[in-house]
Structure 1
Amino acid sequence: MDTSEFFAPLRATTDDGAGADGSAAPRTGVAETEPAEDGKSAAKITANAVDNANADATAGKQDVAKPERTPVWIDLLSPTSDEIHDIEQRFGIEVPTREEMQEIELSSRLYDEDGALFMTVSVLTRATTDAPQTAAVTFILVKKTLITLRYADPVPFKTFIRRVKKTPSLANSAETVMFGLLEQIVDRLADLMEQTATDLENLSNQVFANPEGPGSDQDHRETLRQIGRTGNLSGKAKDSLLNLHRLGLFLSTQTRLKKDAKARLKVISRDIVSITEHANFIANKVTFLLDATLGMISLEQNNIIKIFSVAAAAFLPPTLIASIYGMNFEVMPELGWEFGYPVAIGLMILSAVLPLWYFKRKGWL
């Protein structure tokens, strides 16, 4: 559980370090990232709040109280009930519960409550593992502060926090932070779709490779597993893109957004549409490769059954001959014949070879 607060950098300072209003200029602290015990990296900002610089230690000077600055972004990662209660009291809002964040109704995910915008989207996590997942993330835009509530640590959040540390101007306002996060999420989805398309191309080469070649996968088990993982990833990516598209439509109706913010939102929405089309192509490619792989498996099974059928037909005449001469009846002309045994063996061999030759000529073998 980590609560991180980000403040907008000061716009102007004087040569002696004082702010434009004559007060001491605050400094932005250093953000630290510490790995959690469960393997997840929790972006833990330990000193990102503004540090009130010590006034000049001059005798007789009185410390001047400075007004508390409002953070532009508060990031709640797996918060406790006390932390949520503190945020509710501080901003006069009702933070949705974890169960409410999982609801799929549009009215439960995107709504305006007393001037505060509540927007919940599904963000793709653990995309590079065999079990990709989506996690609900809630954006709360209240006054001049953006509050993000999440119970997972997706890569876009880690990346954006590192970018804010290097470039504090990315956190000039709550809207800037929100659009920066949305752009980071969309960029991550675009990279995943590009990598998925490359993986599918390699899978396609495996499926249609020469069965006797060095790279062929005769039983197709690994190919089916990779196709299933790719289909699962593309499906969850499409779910995340759908949520982002709905969020974009919701924000486009808000009059509080300025002209430049709406222009930025339009670019994000255009990117979402293009990535969704690419995700649809990947989904169709996954379906095609799955059908092709199952078809290859069926062909191989038919070939195996055909071989057994041919073998059974080829060895049926020798079995018949051996059965006849194994009866040991008294009155059988060949029993007393000197060449009876070699002739019987020859008949069995000939009766097996002739069907095999016939099947080979017909192209059944």
Structure 2
Amino acid sequence: MVLKEFRTADGRLVCRDGLVPSPGDSARPVWIDLMEPSPEEERQVEASLGIDVPTHEEMQEIEASSRLYEEDGALFMTVSVLHKATTDAPESSAVTFILAKDTLVTLRYADPLPFQALTRKIERGPGLGGGSAETILMGLLEQIVDRLADIMEACVADLEAISREVFGDDGSRDHKLVLRRVGRVGDLATKAKDSLLSLNRMVLFLTAQTRVGKETRTRLKTLSRDVLSITEHATFVASKVTFLLDATLGLINIEQNNIIKIFSVAAVAFLPPTLIASIYGMNFRVLPELEWPFGYPLALGLMVLSAVLPFLYFKRKGWL
């Protein structure tokens, strides 16, 4: 459970734990970051800003009216943010941005990299010094979009490597491993696209607000174009994933058919020798070749010949 606030001091943003105002400091914090807050911390923020912080269950609702709305003079915006993208189990977590007058409140139950990146940027220098709540909000959104762009670039690189492996000449590929890799990239791209769609809805919602400043509107237009371009890229990745899945399953079917064909040809090739052996294995009293000294070698020769001739015929036809 983490509650941090960022206030402007000496031309730069300063991070402090908790909502403990300094003596003589009547200004509101610029940014309040709530990660897995306790009920007491939620009540503290609600009393300080006069808002109703949504619960974790309310953040999971997918209808637009529950994710993007205005209440008590504050804007409530919930988006899906992708995190743990470099692991085998990427996750998508809901993050709520609350723009209450001059303060931005972020409510989250995960720690995505964009939040860590912006926090480090603030701690390094005065790049966001004197920044407003809208500036912090745009910085977070831009960090999220940049991270999604990096993820999509990594997905494309992974798919290119998988494509070379699938269509390469090396016959020792592990199709099960390939399917797992393609499935992971597909899952990652799907979660990234979900995050992009929710971001696009949030950008449209913010653009329609009259309280948003001119500079923020300009940055929102740029952000909207970036989101749309990355969404198109995500669509391309999804189609590439489908193509590679179909190609891999097709190669598996071809290899299985080759195995079945070998067994079928072997069964046909050994059918004549089996017939000859069955004839001379019958329990009749009179079999002319039983008394003949060359009967056994003749039977063996016939069986070998009847096996070799079909094999040569199949080889000539290209069935082997």
For 2:211, give the aligned amino acid.
Answer: R
**Counterpart of 2:5?**
5
1:77-116 C-alpha deviation (Å, 9 max, x unpaired)? 1000010011111111111110000000000000011210
Ranges of 4+ aligned residues in structure 1 off by more than 4 Å: 45-50
Q: State the shift of 1:49 in Å.
A: 7.8
The structural deviation recorded for 1:270 is 0.6
Counterpart position of 2:200:
245
What is the CA distance between 1:328 and its match in structure 2? 3.7
Task: Give the deviation of 1:47 after TM superposition.
Answer: 9.3
2:303 alignment counterpart: 348
| Code of the aligned partner of 1:180 | G
Aligned match of 1:38: none
Deviations 1:181-206 (A, max 9, x none): 00000000000000110000000011
Give SS of 1:331's match.
coil
TM-superposed deviation, 1:167 = 2.6
Q: Percent identity?
A: 63
Q: What 5-or-longer segments of structure 2 have no aligned partner?
A: none
Give distance in 1, aligned partners of 2:286 and 2:162. 67
Give unmatched runs, 5+ long, in structure 1. Answer: 12-26, 32-44, 53-64
Task: Report the Cα offset of residue 169 of structure 1.
Answer: 3.8
**Does 2:182 correspond to 1:224?**
no
The amino acid that maps onto 2:264 is S
In 2 relative to 1, CA 89–48 (structure 1 residues): closer, same or farther, beyond 3 Å? closer
- Residue 45 of structure 2 corresponds to 87
- For residues 167 and 174 of structure 1, the distance between their equivalents in structure 2, rounded to whole angstroms, comes to 18
**57, 79, 83: which one aligns with 1:121:** 79
Report how far residue 46 of structure 1 moved: 4.5
Q: How does the TM-score come out when normalised to structure 1?
A: 0.84
| TM-fit CA distance, 1:258 | 1.4
Deviations along 1:110-162, whole A, 9 cap, x unmatched? 00112100000000011111111100000000010000000000111111100
* 1:170 positional shift: 1.6
Tell me, in whole angstroms, the C-alpha distance in 2 between the residues paired with 1:239 and 1:321. 68
Structure 1 counterpart of 2:231: 276
1:260 positional shift: 1.1
Superposed counterparts of 1:13-24, under 5 Å: none
Question: Mean Cα displacement is larger for which, 165-174 or 154-163?
Answer: 165-174
Residue aligning to 1:76: 34
Show the counterpart of 1:184.
Answer: 143
CA contact (8 A) 2:3 2:17 kept: no
Stretch deviating more after TM superposition (328-337 or 123-132): 328-337
Cα offsets for 1:239-277 (capped at 9, x unmatched): 000000000000010111111110011111110000000
Distance 2:98 2:218 in 1: 21
Q: Per the alignment, in what secondary structure is the counterpart of residue 117 of structure 1?
A: strand
Residue matched to 1:257? 212
What is the total number of aligned residue pairs between the two structures? 319
DSSP 3-state at the match of 1:8: strand
Shift in Å, 1:326: 1.1
Task: Name the aligned partner's letter for residue 89 of structure 1.
Answer: A
Query: Partners of 2:69 and 2:170 in 1: how far apart?
Result: 56
Tell whether 2:233 aligns with 1:295: no
Pair 1:336-2:252 in alignment: no
Which digits, 9 at most, give the CA deviation of each residue in 1:9-63, with x for residues without a partner?
A: 434xxxxxxxxxxxxxxx865x6xxxxxxxxxxxxx559988x6xxxxxxxxxxx
1:151 alignment partner in structure 2: 109
> Deviation at 1:361?
0.3
Once the two structures are TM-superposed, the CA of residue 68 in structure 1 deviates from its matched residue by 2.5
